[in-house]
Amino acid sequence: MRYTEARLSKLGASLMDDMDKDTVDWQPNFDGSLQEPVVLPTKFPNLLVNGGSGIAVGMATNVPTYNLGEICNGILAILDNKDISDDELFGIIPGPDFPTGAVIMGRAGAYKAHTTGRGSIIIRAKTHMEKFHDHDAIVVDEIPYQVNKAQMIIKIAELIKDKRIEGISEIRDESSKEGLRIVVELKRDAIADVVLNHLFQYTEMQTNFPVNMMALNRGRPMLFNIRGVLDAFIDFRCEVIRRRTIFDLNKARARAHTLLGLSVAVGNLDEVIELIKSSPNPDAARDALVSRGWRASDIESYIQLIDDPNTEYKDGMFYMSEDQARAILELQLHRLTGLERDKIHEDLTELGALIKDLLDILGSHERIVQIIRDETASVRDNWSSPRRTEISDAEIDIDIEDLIAREDMVVTVSNTGYIKRVALDTYRAQKRGGKGRNAMTTKDDDYVVQVFVANTHTPLLFFSSKGLCYKLKTYKLPEAAAAAKGRPLVNLLPLENGETITAILPVPEEEVERVRASGKEHFLMFATASGTVRRNRMSDFDQIRANGKIAMKLDDGDSLISVLPCNEDQDVFLATYRGRCIRFPVDEIRVFAGRNSTGVRGMNLGADDRIIGMAMLNHGESDAAVRAAYIKQSRAARRAATGVDEEASDEDEEATSLVLTDDQMAQMAANEQFILTISENGFGKRTSAYEYRTTHRGGNGFANIKLGGKNTAVAGSFPVENGHDVMMVTDGGKIIRTPVDDVRIAGRATAGVTL
């Protein structure tokens, strides 16, 4: 046989209820051998509950499945309030409900489909995390509608093999009769959220369902929204109920018509029997019954109750129709008993009440609406089930950043403009005096000029020699091996001929948000090699065009060496190549409104000197005696604890008789910062920032480190904290990572020790 037979469920069988009552039109089937209904007289909108898709000439349709209970509630809401708004209806029918469950991401797509009939609905697999020994696993509980589970697993395996998705050690299907279960085991170092975002991005664990509610309405194609479908369905149900009622009315009247004839015959039994006996044949008997009137005053009430238009009753006389006469002739003798006569009268009474009720239905739209309401509520109460598909308020806007793991990277920049990033974990901490490891392969005439740590999601501001600012996220930098060279910045930024990057500033977004939440303004401090400084608002650099933005005007021969975030509770610390430094309050530098200016003098420099570093320090203790007392007492405390005398210069031995209390010492220690100064030959020291007095901008400064002998010039000078590591890179590209705590504390104007 051509078609496979199937047993319908009770709900499926209900689609054909009343189909035998002329409720719908019929048409020949494909070969003309049978008649089939044009539509089914369903009591619920199957188009929405089961959905559908198809392609025709010049048009297509794709309708998602909705929850039966919600659809029924929507119909009832419209019946109760025909002026219900789309938003109110959307609150009842919030979106599709797919048989496979899963999660609809965001309500915008479902709302657009609800109101316009078109839209795109994003569906995600439903997942949860489980712990397997020392690693995590992503467990898929439900998959999007119309997704083939086996093909999805094969696709994931291919992506793992091609290394387009990393961090997965195994995938297996543990589905059973209890339900779907796909286990994606992760490697120990994998970040579950990143792997999951990759799965959503590259596999059918996330799909789009394009809604197009095109349907035929009385043979004409129309684009419907949800309200339109429900309104059309209500109109359809009104027609079905009207046609069903007419069918039942005609059937009841036909039966009542026959019973009236039988009742008349029983009431005139002797005459009827005599007439039949005297007739030569059945046709003659039928004609004789029809040709005369019969007494029927005893059933006049039934005649009026039934109100049969085919019944002829005049002046107490009843005139039979041929159908009634034929029924009398076919009457069996046992029907002539008194009990049967009473049964005929009871049937006439019931049929009369039924006909009256059916006529009332046909004459009252409210009765029809109430029937629709009752039948819809019955369908909901008997067949509805809880929603399977969860609707998340989170709108999906997958950014490339969602696919990038948040991890700290060491960014290395060479003098000739090569840049790369390497995972911080690549560099293990070494003791002071260690040999280090290669951080970058450089040419003979190239060397590393900047190393810093930034998260992959941290924005980086690139300041160029021409005073322009560019912006990139850390993850957009090339990731390479520890000893690799990296890529030229000119390949990443639209630099002009002769333009180089002179300063790179990480701007952690969480830090910016923290400062903004505090109500304080955030600023950027610029410092050039010639000692010029300038302060601008951080917000001036929120929006950076792809081709850059003017940051600062530079004098000929000058270069931008550092840009740092700052606030007015801090001091600016400038360090020079020849071992000098200066410290002055940030608020001594006015905020520049424009960016096309050179700034003001921060420090006077010697003829062969230049600024090599800038840092921001907490605003220090202004009383010199208090600072000197703290330095003296803390140095004595360390000597007592370690038995080692710290190196001190003559400048450190400022005489003071002041003795600080324990509380004063604790408060000073809590606010203490240390400055690490490193020479080009690898000597270094830590010095308390209290030894760096606060002066005014534009001065000549004071000694930062003792130079001479092997100490010829300063390579860097910046604040450090206990518990942190310092990373040092040689001109040849070798890098060493050393704990800050291992670097000896010494006086400001001392030479330090080998690092």
Q: Which residues are the active-site residues?
A: 3
Instruction: Provide the 8-state DSSP code for 605.
Output: -
Asked if residues 89 and 77 have their Cβ atoms less than 8 Å apart, the reply is yes
Amino acid at residue number 608: D
| Burial label, 252 (beta-carbon count in 10 A; 0-12, 13-18, 19+) | buried
Task: Return d(Cα 598, Cα 601) in angstroms, integer.
Answer: 10
Q: Order of strands, edge to edge, in the sheet holding 570-576?
A: 611-618, 570-576, 580-585, 702-703
- Which is nearest to 464 in space by CA: 497, 439, 430? 497
Measured between alpha carbons, how far is 750 from 703 in angstroms, rounded to an integer?
Answer: 9
Q: How many CB atoms lie within 10 A of CB 687?
A: 25
| Residue pair 233/45 in contact by the 8 Å Cβ criterion | yes
Residue of 375, 46, 229 whose CA lies nearest to 37: 46
Q: How far is residue 699's CA from residue 692's CA, in Å, rounded to a whole number?
A: 14
737 Cβ contact list (under 8 Å, min separation 6): 427, 428, 429, 430, 436, 725, 726, 727
Q: Which of 92, 86, 120 is nearest to 396 (CA)?
A: 120
Residues 6+ apart with CB under 8 A from 245: 358, 361, 362
Q: What residues have CB less than 8 Å from 696, skipping those under 6 apart?
A: 584, 588
- What tokens does 401 get? 């950043």
SS3 call for 35: strand
**Closest to 565 measured CA to CA, from 603, 647, 605, 510:** 510
Q: How far is CA 312 from CA 96, 284, 318, in A?
A: 58, 21, 6
End-to-end CA distance of the chain: 90
342: buried, middle or exposed (CB in 10 Å: 19+, 13-18, 0-12)? exposed
CA 372 to chain centre: 39
Which residues have C-beta within 8 Å of that of residue 274, sequence separation ≥ 6?
Answer: none
Nearest one of 616, 415, 608, 462 to 530, comparing CA atoms: 608
Taking residue 607's Cβ as centre, other Cβ atoms within 10 Å add up to 4
As beta bridge partners, residue 563 has 526
Query: Which of 306, 290, 293 has its CA nearest to residue 345?
Result: 306
> Which runs of consecutive H residues, i.e. helices, occur in 523-623?
none
Q: What is the DSSP letter of 176?
A: B
State which amino acid sits at residue 596.
N
- Asked if residues 500 and 554 have their Cβ atoms less than 8 Å apart, the reply is no
What is the phi/psi pair of residue 184, to 5°? -110, 100
User: Got the DSSP string for 642-669?
Assistant: H--PPP--GGG---------HHHHHHHH
- Euclidean distance between CA atoms 558 and 538, whole angstroms: 23
Contacts of 437 (CB under 8 A, 6+ apart): 427, 482, 483, 734, 735, 736
In whole angstroms, what separates CA 126 from the centre of its chain? Answer: 13
Q: Is 371 left (phi over 0), alpha (psi -120 to 50) or beta?
A: alpha
Query: Quick one: DSSP state of residue 425?
Result: G
**CA dist., res. 698 & res. 686, Å (int):** 26
Structure tokens at 612: 């090599």
